[in-house]
Chain A
């Protein structure tokens, strides 16, 4: 039984390795053949002509993710602080699970709301086609809120009560206590929540396909349509063959590497916290 369970225990790790091996084995040879620099830094993506430069997608992914973080991170952290420090615990006991439930809303639903509600708003009030970098950032910013709020609340709650009481006893206001005592003590957990949310934003596919418009070009403004790395894979995978398919797997390799770097950083940040305790 012990041996069987040991074998089973390696299932998740083996799955991860298997995924890495298959994605890399399908994509990496292409990157070497096509040229790493050419693939990553050329702006021409014309599969029919055999041109596979993903630079516009890399830039667009960075912008959309940055936009999502600019919108989602302050709102999420502010929400976490407010719910833990300024609201009676029973209220938080209801609001936090409710927010976590919302993390389960399928990403296609977020995308649909983006198309039906957000894109027309942007088109009518700010101009441009509506389906844009801005729409993608806003939708992703909302999608990552539950991740940021939930993990940040956990890390703020983990700050020992004595810290707060000490500060309050010295005559500090609640806000001064939050800013000078609680937040610094909880900062690594909050940082980890933001890194994990960033991973989610970079990896999100369906919502992004629906709201960003998917043009392959480097955006000149937030109102222009963009195509992310994930969208590039999902849009063309259905019909791609040969070199084209390999190029999409190569896009997957780039995505996989970025996500693994974020995973390592989040895990590192969390470990730092445990080590300090």
Chain B
């Protein structure tokens, strides 16, 4: 029996459509569920209070501070390296075997599981370099994790700067470096910030790499050599050790809101950049 193409078309639309619907439902359900359970827990006191009794009561302020400190440190370390790499790849050299290898290295780094980063940071930063579980060890580890994202997005942003801008700059007698930092980087800034924001989003949500390098101390950090607990780690410990489901939901809601708004900001900047170009 030969099926009528019109009927197979209808069947295909039905099957593909329901698969898409199922996907969207699952993803929306996850966010909706966490927000529905967690939002009632969120309050000013919860966000700014100190945890009591291992997090059974009280707030999550030290975890918020820990997340913020660790993320800022990771970005400060990774952004110069990532932007420098992208500038070199796009402005200072031609496509060659070497650039292909550098790009491949960045792609591979992006695919390394976070637990491997955790092992590496633990052995090199925490143990061999004797930093202990600390903000510094965690920040260094995270900076390597977000480096590929920053390289990729910065490269795209620099490539999107029109060639004519460069030509004008060179024709005025500017050197290559002057052109890069007076013309290209300012014009590519929104794209670079997009990459940085995506890196921030990844740092905020990371757990496996952080727990083995930054530790899980609940005290407020006083220096980069102090251990910190991030929101993601705090949430994990609350949930896994069954300390408090209620506070776990609250922390999860705060974490999701932070990550999604950072990512949303990144997309908004990227779209604005694209809109400006065309």
Contact = CB atoms under 8 A, between A and B. Distances in A.
Interface size class of B (residues with CB under 8 A): 35 or more
A58 B236 CA distance: 25
Contacts of A79: 16, 19-20, 23
B113 A174 contact: no
Given A78-B20, A101-B260, A102-B31, A142 B26 contact: yes
B111 A108 contact: no
Interface in A11-60: 11-13, 15-19, 22-23, 26
A151 B13 CA distance: 21
Nearest to B259: A104
Contacts of B176: 1-2
Interface string B91-124: 0100000000110111111011111111110111
A221 to B, nearest CB: 24
A262 interface: yes
B225 interface: no
Nearest to B145: A15
A234 B119 CA distance: 9
B114 A203 contact: yes
Interface stretch (A121-129, A155-163, A204-212): A204-212
B240 interface: yes
A272 interface: no
Contact of A267 (B104, B114, B256): B104
A190 to B, nearest CB: 14
Contact of A113 (B30, B120, B264): B30
Contacts of A260: 108
Contacts of B245: 116
A6 interface: yes
Nearest to A5: B88
Contacts of A167: none
B12 A175 contact: yes
B114 A109 contact: no
A230 interface: yes
Interface in B189-240: 201-202, 204-208, 211-212, 232, 235-236, 239-240
21 contacts: A8-B80, A8-B84, A15-B109, A18-B120, A22-B120, A78-B15, A82-B19, A95-B24, A106-B255, A108-B236, A109-B205, A109-B252, A113-B30, A116-B245, A145-B27, A149-B23, A176-B8, A206-B236, A249-B123, A259-B116, A263-B111
Identify the 5 closest CB pairs spanning chains A and B, nearest first: A203-B113, A106-B205, A13-B105, A8-B84, A78-B19
Interface of A: 1-2, 4-6, 8-13, 15-19, 22-23, 26, 74-76, 78-79, 81-83, 86, 95, 97, 99-102, 104-113, 115-117, 142, 145-146, 149, 172-176, 178, 196, 199-200, 202-206, 209-210, 230, 233-234, 237-238, 248-249, 252, 255-256, 259-260, 262-263, 266-267
